[in-house]
Amino acid sequence: AQRVTQPEKLLSVFKGAPVELKCNYSYSGSPELFWYVQYSRQRLQLLLRHISRESIKGFTADLNKGETSFHLKKPFAQEEDSAMYYCALSGEETSGSRLTFGEGTQLTVNP
Amino acid sequence: DTEVTQTPKHLVMGMTNKKSLKCEQHMGHRAMYWYKQKAKKPPELMFVYSYEKLSINESVPSRFSPECPNSSLLNLHLHALQPEDSALYLCASSQVGRTEAFFGQGTRLTVV
């Protein structure tokens, strides 16, 4: 079975402060990890995937297999980062991207 | 065109009605998905189609019947739903394999 845990339902920071959204996973094989974001009244969209190792909108995330974590970080939060963030895992299926989502973290960046 | 389009955006139906949700993409993706999302909860996978064939059914009740008429279209037929089936229904598509999924805006379904 695969499981994703996001321990913080709500996270509030001030503009310019660093932000870290935590994600831990449970999976016996080799997972693919993603961060999806949902801005207010917009569709769910991909922010990051671990395999690409990119920095998107200043966010980075590193897969730590030893700690089974994939935390999302940004050194200086902006007000436009306020959104719901979901960590998601795809197992070793070949048919499609069968995503298991965490419960999500609602990030609020205050001015 | 990099969008997944879902219709209708909103749907109210009675428990004896039959209705269908529609989803369309023109990105050449051969995997398509239905997810259900309740308020303040993450999306939960319902069905996966791969090359127009049903590959995963996450033990969804038979009152939900998916259909993939071609590589661009995905339908979800609804019949005899219950009020607890009220939710946001999301369609997504991707390349086959473990890759980025593109989501539609969803259909907000209310069963009365």
A103: nearest Cα among A18, A28, A36: A36
**Is the torsion defined by CA of A20, A21, A26, A31 positive or negative?**
negative
Give the model confidence (pLDDT) of A20-66 as tens digits.
999 999 988 888 899 999 998 899 999 998 877 777 889 999 899 99
**Is the torsion defined by CA of A85, A62, A21, A56 positive or negative?**
negative
Give the model confidence (pLDDT) of B36-60 as tens digits.
999 989 999 999 999 999 998 999 9
Question: Which stretches of chain A sit within 8 Å of chain B by CB?
Answer: 32, 34, 43-46, 49, 86, 90-104
| CB-CB contact of B36 with B44 (8 Å) | yes
Query: Which position has the higher pLDDT, A1 or B26?
Result: B26
Q: Quick check: B9 pLDDT over 90?
A: yes
* B100/A46 Cβ within 8 A: yes
The rounded distance, in Å, linking the Cα atoms of A24 and A6 is: 7
Residue of chain B with shortest Cα separation from A87: B42
